[in-house]
Chain A
Amino acid sequence: MAGKGRGIAAFTFNIEALGLSRGSMPETQRGPTPLFPQIEYKPVPLKAGEDEDYMRALKQEMRGRMKDLPFNIKPHAGKGDVERYKEKYTREIKRIEDDNWTPDWNRLPKELKPQKKIIKKKRDTTKNAKISSKDKVEVLNKLDELEKKGDVKSDEEDEAEGGKKEDGEEGEEEEIEAEYDEELEEENDYIASYFEDGDDYGGGSDDNMDEATY
C-alpha cells in the first residue's frame, strides 16, 4: 500500500517492534536445511562408568542371543536343499534351539495354530464305500428304467457309478474314475447331446414358427 514513496519497499508494521532494523534483516533460508548441519557446540561426552559398561555388555549379549532363539523367524529358505554336513555341528556349537517352539495354544486364537491338511481324496473313497448295498438295488432299478428310455449316455454313466461302488473298498478310486472318464470321452468323441433325438436340435424353432422370433 502507500509507502514513503513510489518503488521503495515499506513494511506494513512497525519494524522496531520486532527488534529489526532496515539494515539487519535475518538471513532468509535458501533451500532445505543440510542433512548434516554444522554444530557449534560439541556434544557432552557419554557417561562412562561400571554401570554403563555392564548395561552395554548386557545389550550386546542379548542382541546376539536373540538371533539364536526360535523367536527369530527366518524367511523360507530354498526347499529341497540337502542339510549340509556342518549344520549339525553349527547347531550344537551355537546352541540354536529347536525351531519348533510351541506356545501355549490356550492363550492364542485358534486360527494361529498351524493346521494339518487333510487329504481330501480319501474322504471321497470312504463316502463311496459307505454307500450301502441298498443303493446298489436302487441303481439297478434305475438302470432298468433308463434302458427303456434308451438313453445311451446315462447308461454308461450309471455303469461307471456302479463300477465305482463295487470297487469302493479299493484305494484306486482315482485311477478308476479317471479311466471311466477317459472311456466316456473316448467312446464319444462327439458331444452326445447334439445328435440324440430330434427334440433338442432345432426342435424348438420348428414348433414355434407362429410366434415372432426375438
Chain B
Amino acid sequence: MTVQEVRLCGLLLQQHFGNVVEKVGTHLIRSGVLTLRALAYETKLPLDLVKKSLCVLVQHGMCTFGAGRRGPAGPVEYRINCESIIHMLRYPRYIYTAKSLYGDTGELIVEEILQRGQMTMSSTVRTVADRLTNNMPEGQSMDYSEVVSAFSRLVETHFLQRCPPLASAGSSSSTLDTPLPAATQPTEPESHPDCYKLPYINLTGQGKRRRSSEGGEADQRAAKKARTDNSECGDDGIHWQVNFQRFHLHFRDQAIISAVSCKLDQSSSEIVRTMLRMSEVTTPAHAAFTQALSSNEIFRALQSSYNIARPNLDQYLSLLVDDPMEFVGKTGDSGGGMYVVNLHRALANLARATLESVVQERFGSRSARIFRLLLRKRHLEQKQVEDFAMIPAKEAKDMLYTLLSENLVQLQEIPKTPDYAPSRTFYLYTVNQLPTARLLLQHCYKTVCNLIERRLYETKENKRLLEKSQRIEAILASLQATEAEAAQLTEVEEMITVPERQQLESLRHHINKLDSSENQVDESIFLLESYIKSTQASR
C-alpha cells in the first residue's frame, strides 16, 4: 500500500465511521495481517472498541478474516481490503447510476445497501418503502411489491449480489472438517452458485409514514414490532451487497460510448452502445474483447429510433474500424462482417488521452506536443525532439527538463562502449505509458487527500459560525411549525448579521467546490485504475 493510499483510506474511514475505526483501520493496513489481541495491544484501544470496529469493517466488506498462519487451530487473522475503502469515494456515482437506470426506488435501494454494507432483502424493502412513503404526499404510500420488483431487476442485471457464504460459523474450536478459508484466498462471491438467486419471501404491505406528531414511544413500539416481524420473512441469513465490479463495467462502457461520440458522431456511439449491450451477458469481466457480433445481428438489435439504414450501418462500422483509436475491430467476414469492441485497447487509449491532457493543462500545449511525440515515437534524441516537434532548441530543452524533473519523461542511456563514457553514449528520451499512469494515479490519490483535508480545515475554521447558523435554522423551523408571526421570524433571521451571512455563503461555495472536485478527480481515478488493472489482467 502506498503512502497516499493509506492516507486516503484513513481520511475516508474517519469521515464515515469516526476516529476509532480510522485508528484500527490504518493500523491494520500498515501491518498487513493481525490477530485481534495483537491489534488491541498495538493500537492501545480498549478491546471492546476494537471488536466493534472490526465488526463494522467486516459488515461493510472492507475487512476479511480467516484462519491465520497457525492453521485452523490458531487465532483468527484479519486483513483489510484497501480497494473497497477507496470505493467509498465513488458511492455518489453508484447511487446516481442506479437512479438513472432504475428510478428513485432503485436509487434508494442502492443507497441503503451502500450505507449499511450488507442487508437482507426484507429489511431493505421495508426501509426503502418507508422512506419513499415519507416523501410522497399525504395519504399515499408505497407498496412493498413495487420495491420488490425494483430489487429483483437490480439482482437480474447483477448490480446486487449475495454475500459470499463462510465455510464455517467462524469458531476455530469446532470440527476440523470445515476449516475456515485461508486468509489469503477469500471466497469470491461469484463462485457461489446461488449468487444471483432471489429468495422467496412473503412480504406484503405498504410503507409506513413517520409521524412527527406521535411521541417517541409509539415509534419505539413500531420499531420493536418491525424487529419481531423480521424473522417471519423467511430470508434470514441471506445478505445482499452491491456488486462493485458490475458498476465498474457499466462505467467503462459509458466512458467508451462517450469517447466514440466525441470523436466521431452520435450515430456511431449508438452503434457501439448496441454492441456493448448485446455482449453484456456473454463477455466475462476481464476480457480483452467482447464476443464477436455479426453485422446482421447488430442491425437487428439496433433500435428503430436511431434510423440507421443497412448500408449506413456498414459504412459506420468500417469507419469505426479504420479509426486510429481502434475502438472496434473486425475479426471476420461471415454474416456481413464480424466485429468486436476492443475493450482493453479502448481503455489504454482513454488512459493515454488522460495523460496527454494532464500534461497539456499543467505545462502548456507545446510540452504536450513533445509528450505526444515521445508517446508515439518511443525513443528520441534531444536533436530529434526539436526537429520533429518544430520547437526552437532552447525552449524544447527547457520543456524536456521540466518534464524530466516531474518524472513524466525518462532518460534512456544506450552505450556505444562498455564503459558508459558520456561522450560515447546515446541519451534518448522516452515515455512509458504504464508507469506514468501509475504515477498519475498516486497524484490523484494525493489530490483527493488534499481536497478532503482542506475541506476539514475550512469547516473547522468556521465551526462557530456553522453551529450558530444551524441553531438559528432549528429555531426558525420550530417557529414555522408553530406558525409564529412574520415579525418573530424576521427577528430571528436578523440574528445572523450580513457579513456573517456573506461569510457563510462563501464557505458553502468553497465546500461545494471541494466536494465537486473530489467527485471529478474520482472519474480520473476510475479510468487510470481500470487501465492498470486491464494491463495486469492481460499479462
A19 touches B382 (CB 8 A): yes
Q: Which of B208-229 contact A (CB under 8 A)?
A: 216, 219
Residue of B nearest to A45 (CB): B513
Residues 139-179 of chain A: 1 if any B CB is under 8 Å from the residue's CB, otherwise 0?
00000000000000000000000000000000000000000
Residues 83-109 of chain A: 1 if any B CB is under 8 Å from the residue's CB, otherwise 0?
000001000100000000001101111
Within 8 Å by CB of B422, from A13, A43, A73, lies: A13
- Smallest Cβ distance from A106 to chain B, in angstroms? 6
Given contacts A41-B364, A46-B517, A51-B96, whether A74 and B20 have CB atoms under 8 Å apart is yes
Residues 83-117 of chain B: 1 if any A CB is under 8 Å from the residue's CB, otherwise 0?
00000000111011000000000000001000111
A44 touches B361 (CB 8 A): yes
Stretch at the interface among A54-62, A124-132, A193-201: A54-62
A71 touches B92 (CB 8 A): no
Residues 23-40 of chain A: 1 if any B CB is under 8 Å from the residue's CB, otherwise 0?
010100000000000011
Indicate whether A14 reaches chain B with its CB closer than 8 angstroms: yes
Residues 2-20 of chain A: 1 if any B CB is under 8 Å from the residue's CB, otherwise 0?
0000000001111001111
B513 touches A75 (CB 8 A): no
Within 8 Å by CB of A17, from B20, B21, B117, B427, lies: B427
Indicate whether B5 reaches chain A with its CB closer than 8 angstroms: no
Indicate whether A52 reaches chain B with its CB closer than 8 angstroms: yes
Given contacts A73-B56, A103-B55, whether A109 and B519 have CB atoms under 8 Å apart is no
Q: Which of B481-539 contact A (CB under 8 A)?
A: 512-513, 515-520
A73 touches B20 (CB 8 A): yes
Give 26 A-B contacts (CB < 8 Å), ordered by A residue. A14-B422, A17-B381, A19-B396, A26-B397, A41-B364, A44-B361, A46-B516, A47-B520, A48-B516, A52-B516, A59-B91, A59-B92, A59-B515, A62-B111, A66-B115, A72-B16, A73-B56, A74-B18, A75-B19, A76-B46, A106-B166, A108-B65, A109-B65, A109-B171, A110-B170, A112-B51
B427 touches A18 (CB 8 A): yes
In the complex, A192 Cα to B216 Cα: how many Å? 68
Indicate whether B15 reaches chain A with its CB closer than 8 angstroms: yes
Indicate whether A63 reaches chain B with its CB closer than 8 angstroms: yes
In the complex, A75 Cα to B115 Cα: how many Å? 21
Indicate whether B362 reaches chain A with its CB closer than 8 angstroms: yes
In the complex, A58 Cα to B397 Cα: how many Å? 47
A63 touches B15 (CB 8 A): yes
Residues 47-79 of chain B: 1 if any A CB is under 8 Å from the residue's CB, otherwise 0?
011011111101110000100000000011000
A58 touches B96 (CB 8 A): yes
Q: Which of B393-407 contact A (CB under 8 A)?
A: 393-394, 396-398, 401
In the complex, A40 Cα to B359 Cα: how many Å? 12
A73 touches B515 (CB 8 A): no
In the complex, A41 Cα to B423 Cα: how many Å? 37
Chain B facing A: main interface SS:
helix
Indicate whether B41 reaches chain A with its CB closer than 8 angstroms: no
Q: In the complex, given contacts A18-B427, A108-B65, what are 16 additional A-B residue pairs having Cβ atoms less than 8 angstroms apart?
A: A14-B422, A19-B386, A19-B393, A39-B362, A51-B96, A56-B512, A59-B519, A62-B115, A69-B115, A71-B56, A71-B116, A72-B18, A73-B53, A107-B58, A108-B55, A109-B170
Indicate whether A207 reaches chain B with its CB closer than 8 angstroms: no
Given contacts A24-B394, A52-B516, A59-B519, whether A104 and B237 have CB atoms under 8 Å apart is yes
B58 touches A108 (CB 8 A): yes
Indicate whether A65 reaches chain B with its CB closer than 8 angstroms: yes
Within 8 Å by CB of B397, from A19, A110, A111, lies: A19
B216 touches A111 (CB 8 A): no
Indicate whether B309 reaches chain A with its CB closer than 8 angstroms: no
Which B residues are CB-close (under 8 A) to A19?
Answer: 382-383, 386, 393, 396-397
Indicate whether A203 reaches chain B with its CB closer than 8 angstroms: no
Interface size class of A (residues with CB under 8 A): 35 or more
Within 8 Å by CB of A111, from B76, B118, B513, lies: B76
A63 touches B65 (CB 8 A): no
A13 touches B423 (CB 8 A): yes
Which A residues are CB-close (under 8 A) to B422?
Answer: 11-14
A13 touches B20 (CB 8 A): no
B520 touches A46 (CB 8 A): yes
Within 8 Å by CB of B16, from A17, A63, A76, A108, lies: A63
Indicate whether A114 reaches chain B with its CB closer than 8 angstroms: yes
Indicate whether B346 reaches chain A with its CB closer than 8 angstroms: no
A66 touches B53 (CB 8 A): no
Indicate whether B17 reaches chain A with its CB closer than 8 angstroms: yes
Which B residues are CB-close (under 8 A) to A63?
Answer: 15-16
Given contacts A92-B216, A106-B237, whether A12 and B423 have CB atoms under 8 Å apart is yes
Which A residues are CB-close (under 8 A) to B386?
Answer: 19
- Smallest Cβ distance from B233 to chain A, in angstroms? 14
In the complex, A55 Cα to B362 Cα: how many Å? 27
Most B CB within 10 A of own CB, among A62, A74, A107: A107
In the complex, A24 Cα to B513 Cα: how many Å? 43
Residue of A nearest to B398 (CB): A26
- Smallest Cβ distance from A64 to chain B, in angstroms? 11
A73 touches B423 (CB 8 A): no
- Smallest Cβ distance from B54 to chain A, in angstroms? 6
Which B residues are CB-close (under 8 A) to A60?
Answer: 515
Which B residues are CB-close (under 8 A) to A20?
Answer: 397
Which B residues are CB-close (under 8 A) to A108?
Answer: 55, 58, 65, 170
A104 touches B239 (CB 8 A): yes
Which B residues are CB-close (under 8 A) to A92?
Answer: 216, 219
Residues 12-36 of chain B: 1 if any A CB is under 8 Å from the residue's CB, otherwise 0?
0001111111000000000000001
Given contacts A103-B55, A108-B170, whether A13 and B421 have CB atoms under 8 Å apart is yes
B518 touches A106 (CB 8 A): no
Within 8 Å by CB of A114, from B51, B76, B513, lies: B51
Residue of B nearest to A70 (CB): B56
In the complex, A110 Cα to B59 Cα: how many Å? 14
A107 touches B51 (CB 8 A): no
B58 touches A73 (CB 8 A): no
A55 touches B96 (CB 8 A): yes
